[in-house]
Chains A and B, each alone.
Chain A
């Protein structure tokens, strides 16, 4: 085990895969000379050269499309978009090209492309740099969606993403880049897609936390145990597509109650989707309605107290868990 920051874990994954497979190339704005806006690609240009680590113009749609074309003809490109908000400029190539090409051309070709980007609030970057769009990408058949919450998963999932033959949307979290954690050694650390991580075992309530919210949920579970005598099981799906629904349903069968925590917007969100799946497939297991904790239904504001109020915190998750358990101290009815 080595102690490593989330960004260093990503860097290690890229370095190892660049070294392992000549077909891997990196494309992105400021990933080379500058070392990456969040320093994820730091040092890779020096190590692998301009042929493999390419600074691009600020042309998000075209960068992704270039990745698609190169992936169709034998490379395994990893495209970095500076933040997830900028991916909206690339949505045509992400959806109409990356996601659809294999299907619309009758399976003749695959698109082994990874598009990496960070999401998330907390740095007062306002409405065009702070959002969480897991749900937008989850919506699209043809894409895989990974959202690592730990340094170990960041490394293991990114390596698995690069080796996958499907287009992968790889969603990092801006506020996690500096988090330092134990990461297993070895080039071959892979975290297989479609396998949820049980962050903490428990018996009273299942809390599903996505991306950074897996960590917020873990802290909430500790508080629930310490202060409320509640045993919460926390599950991090790690990949939203493919989705390890079995692990979530097995947990719900055990606890009979479920809270889903995400940072994105509530309408049509990851939680809305998951709540529907749970109610369709495990209705008889539920002793209370599934409850969602999500980002506020507003564009992300700049001012600190407003920004804080616009994404979920540990206290919100604790309150939601108490509410599904119908414990005193929980908010009555809705939030």
Chain B
């Protein structure tokens, strides 16, 4: 068994895993109550892969993830209120209600996003690492993706390029045994995923993704090696998702027995038991961690529910960085939305009148004239 971290850190890891678990459970409830739309991909069962890996990073390191990314935002310190508000599609969401479950983002905390396209985050991770390297910093990027993504073209392309350019990336394939509903042995000719980078110049290793200590140990070693050697590494974190691929998954591709077998290795009780055995926690403190997580999630739901829905007039905000020198129109839209763009431009100008304010006003007048004629 890898050594335990300092007691405060050990308690924090348990608290973070518990927060993610309780958050995801409440998200599922809120989805069932139609507070959340679209797809909802939960990471219940995979908490050790999230906390064990993220706690191997420095604050200045980057983390980039997939469409299963609520936990990654939370572990980086994005307040649960803003993650829940994003799920609720509210203005206080961490992506202002534009992204939803699959597209969490927190630049300040260097969580570089959830990506809805399988494998779509790998090239971006290499680009972030290129910038870190270019700026001659010590930053590294941890790029998390699923077993299914290891079959995408971007996997081979990005690993090759990262090895060629000696980019500081740790690629972590979270092998939760399924690419959506297709089992690993049915989607990948090589099921020993740690080996999939070998021919691309990226050596691999494996950790027990149900064990936060082992995940932390292996990812920490990889992170520090990458930081030092400036060569990418691949880590396979073997884990299991206890829930369906998304909430819209009847799970007909696996047996209840298989799920139960993995649930016996649930990373949160396992780590909690260990901490109690080692005297880091007593049962009361352990219960308090859980109660705190539940209270925090309650507060997140309350906050999200109170947060306003975005105004339709904000629809066109942030499609573009508007440039005062540009005369032509960036977007085609109706009268009201041109007004929205004018407001956005004004906000963007932080009080100072945009140079082309009169042009926007003219555009609005023109648009109004046209609208009048049309009606």
Residues of A within 8 A of B (CB): 25, 51, 54, 56-57, 59, 61-75, 77, 92-93, 96-97, 101-110, 141-142, 144, 164-166, 192-196, 239, 241-246, 277, 280-281
A164-B323, A193-B328 known; A101+B113 contact, CB < 8 A: yes
B107 within 8 A of A: yes
Contact A110 B328 (CB under 8 A): no
A195-B328, A243-B328 known; A103+B123 contact, CB < 8 A: no
Contact B321 A75 (CB under 8 A): no
Q: Which residues of A contact B153 (CB under 8 A)?
A: 61-62
Name 6 A/B residue pairs within 8 A (Cβ), A-sorted. A25-B134, A63-B123, A65-B126, A108-B107, A109-B105, A242-B327
CA distance A104 to B26 in the complex (A): 24
Contact B107 A195 (CB under 8 A): no
CA distance A194 to B131 in the complex (A): 30
- Majority SS of interface residues in chain A? mixed
Shortest 9 CB-CB distances between A and B: which pairs? Answer: A69-B127, A65-B123, A194-B328, A106-B96, A107-B318, A242-B328, A105-B105, A62-B157, A59-B157
CA distance A280 to B371 in the complex (A): 10
Contact A73 B123 (CB under 8 A): no
B186 within 8 A of A: no
B220 within 8 A of A: no
Taking CB atoms and an 8 Å cut-off, the chain B residues in 149-164 that contact chain A are: 153-154, 157-158, 160-161, 164
Contact A97 B120 (CB under 8 A): yes
CA distance A63 to B97 in the complex (A): 29
Contact A61 B320 (CB under 8 A): no
Contact B98 A104 (CB under 8 A): yes
Contact A106 B94 (CB under 8 A): yes
Q: Which of B129, B131, B319, B328 makes the CB contact (< 8 A) with A103?
A: B319
Q: Which residues of B contact A74 (CB under 8 A)?
A: 131, 135
The residue on B at minimum CB distance from A102 is B318
Q: Which of B96, B112, B160, B331 makes the CB contact (< 8 A) with A57?
A: B160
The residue on A at minimum CB distance from B310 is A106
CA distance A59 to B165 in the complex (A): 14
- Majority SS of interface residues in chain B? loop
Shortest B126–chain A CB gap in Å is 5
CA distance A73 to B332 in the complex (A): 29
CA distance A261 to B113 in the complex (A): 41
Residue-wise, chain B 46-67 has the 8 Å CB interface mask toward A (1 for contact) of 0000000000000000100000
B103 within 8 A of A: yes
Q: Which of B96, B117, B134, B319 makes the CB contact (< 8 A) with A70?
A: B134
Q: Which residues of B contact A51 (CB under 8 A)?
A: 134
CA distance A63 to B116 in the complex (A): 19
Q: Which of B123, B164, B317, B325 makes the CB contact (< 8 A) with A69?
A: B123
Q: Which residues of A contact B330 (CB under 8 A)?
A: 144, 194, 241-242
CA distance A75 to B132 in the complex (A): 10
CA distance A63 to B93 in the complex (A): 31
Q: Which of B94, B99, B129, B325 makes the CB contact (< 8 A) with A192?
A: B325
B274 within 8 A of A: no
B173 within 8 A of A: no
Question: A-B pairs with CB below 8 Å: how many?
Answer: 177
Shortest B142–chain A CB gap in Å is 13
Taking CB atoms and an 8 Å cut-off, the chain B residues in 67-107 that contact chain A are: 93-99, 103, 105-107
Shortest A328–chain B CB gap in Å is 35
A54-B165, A97-B124 known; A193+B135 contact, CB < 8 A: no
Q: Which residues of A contact B96 (CB under 8 A)?
A: 106-107
Q: Which residues of B contact A97 (CB under 8 A)?
A: 115, 120, 123-124
Q: Which of A77, A96, A106, A241 makes the CB contact (< 8 A) with B120?
A: A96
Q: Which residues of B contact A277 (CB under 8 A)?
A: 332
CA distance A244 to B326 in the complex (A): 9
Q: Which residues of B contact A196 (CB under 8 A)?
A: 328
Q: Which of A63, A106, A164, A241 makes the CB contact (< 8 A) with B105?
A: A106
CA distance A96 to B67 in the complex (A): 13
Given contacts A62-B158, A63-B161, A106-B99, 15 further A-B contacts (CB under 8 A): A57-B160, A62-B126, A62-B154, A70-B131, A70-B134, A96-B115, A96-B120, A97-B120, A102-B321, A104-B99, A106-B93, A165-B323, A193-B328, A242-B327, A242-B328
Contact A64 B134 (CB under 8 A): no
CA distance A215 to B15 in the complex (A): 67
Q: Which of B116, B124, B318, B328 makes the CB contact (< 8 A) with A106?
A: B318
A103-B318, A281-B370 known; A59+B160 contact, CB < 8 A: yes
Shortest A90–chain B CB gap in Å is 9
Q: Which residues of B contact A106 (CB under 8 A)?
A: 93-99, 105, 318
B19 within 8 A of A: no
A25-B134, A65-B154, A166-B321 known; A193+B125 contact, CB < 8 A: no
Q: Which of B123, B127, B160, B329 makes the CB contact (< 8 A) with A194?
A: B329
Shortest B295–chain A CB gap in Å is 27
CA distance A97 to B129 in the complex (A): 17
Contact A65 B158 (CB under 8 A): yes
Contact A104 B161 (CB under 8 A): no
